[in-house]
Amino acid sequence: MAVEVRLPKFGQTMEDGTIVNCLAKVGDKVQRGDVIFEIETDKATLEMESPGDGFVKHILIEQDQTVPVGQVIMLLGKEDEEVKAPPAVKTTQAHEKTVSAEPAKTESVLPVETKAQPQTEYKLGQTVPLTRLQKLTAQRMLQSKQQIPCFYLTVKADVTELVEYRTKINQSSQVKVAYNDFIIRAVATGLEKFPIMTGRLDGEALKLADSINIGLAITVPSGLVAPTIKDTNKKDVIQIARDSQALIERAQNSKLSLEDLEGACITVSNLGAYGIEAFIPIAIPGQCSILGIGQIIDTLMPNSGDFVIRKLMTMTLSVDHKVANGAYAAQFLDFVRKLLEDTTNFE
């Protein structure tokens, strides 16, 4: 008897997914647990495993087709079993391309020999199609601008000692600690002291986060993702560094799970590596705030009638005014700044 392979629901909010790659072709033998599709959801590209054993009889979808959760996308059967091909799957309305509902003329309508590759070089006059992730990002940023009345706070943290401290611990640590790891640890401590900053509007009340999870904005070939470091307030800088490196590696290899991308109550976005001194980040819907980090700049500062060079880092906090007021958010940001300026907080 044929086995119907249906698009699974990878997360609570998932309604559909886009088929970006098929790892099996008609006639192949697959076993339960074998990865047979790569599925792009609204949050990540995920590997889909076969729900059973058998030989691939029909593939009912096309490359880059978006289909709803629960839709049959492949049929498996015994090696000598005749399995009737049903109509090709219709594309959900969220996807621009329309796919015919007539029976497929060939058994496999998915070009399995090709895999979508990110466009890395652009030329003037070129038309560049948006990825699903880029479309989603655009929708969410528009939603943020329309529905989240943000205000913005900026401070400069003197991280002279922190720069030296990071160099020192990286000489002996097996895990390389980035500046982001210190920032995330300081933010987590700040959220413990100022818990309203973890909140989101829920009807006529504020719902505070059950745990302190912090998102880290990461650039990937298909756009931008912000995977989550969980229970950050319970971890030291080394543990945070280990977790963040694992998330970055999974993000760059399109291996993030939906669990990796859920649950953040604030996000840290750092553009310092690109020479950006300061910027105003856009708050992510469902989160109270986002912290933008700029480049560490050598700055001439007065000191007892003389001048010294100190290393200053600009931090800009975008805050949803529906959740927190200016004074509260300012205290939170000032507290985070002071934590970063005193390296004993990380020992």
Catalogue the active-site residues: 321
**CA 167 to chain centroid:** 28
Strands lying side by side in the sheet with 16-22: 45-49, 35-40, 16-22, 66-68
Contact at 8 Å (CB) between 280 and 292?
A: yes
Contact at 8 Å (CB) between 187 and 338?
A: no
* Distance, CA of 193 to CA of 191 (rounded, Å): 5
The greatest distance separating any two alpha carbons of the chain, rounded to the nearest whole angstrom, comes to 90
* 148 CB neighbour count, 10 Å cutoff: 22
Strands lying side by side in the sheet with 3-6: 3-6, 72-77, 54-59, 29-30
Q: Would the CA dihedral through 310, 311, 313, 314 be positive or negative?
A: positive
Whole-angstrom Cα Rg for the chain: 24
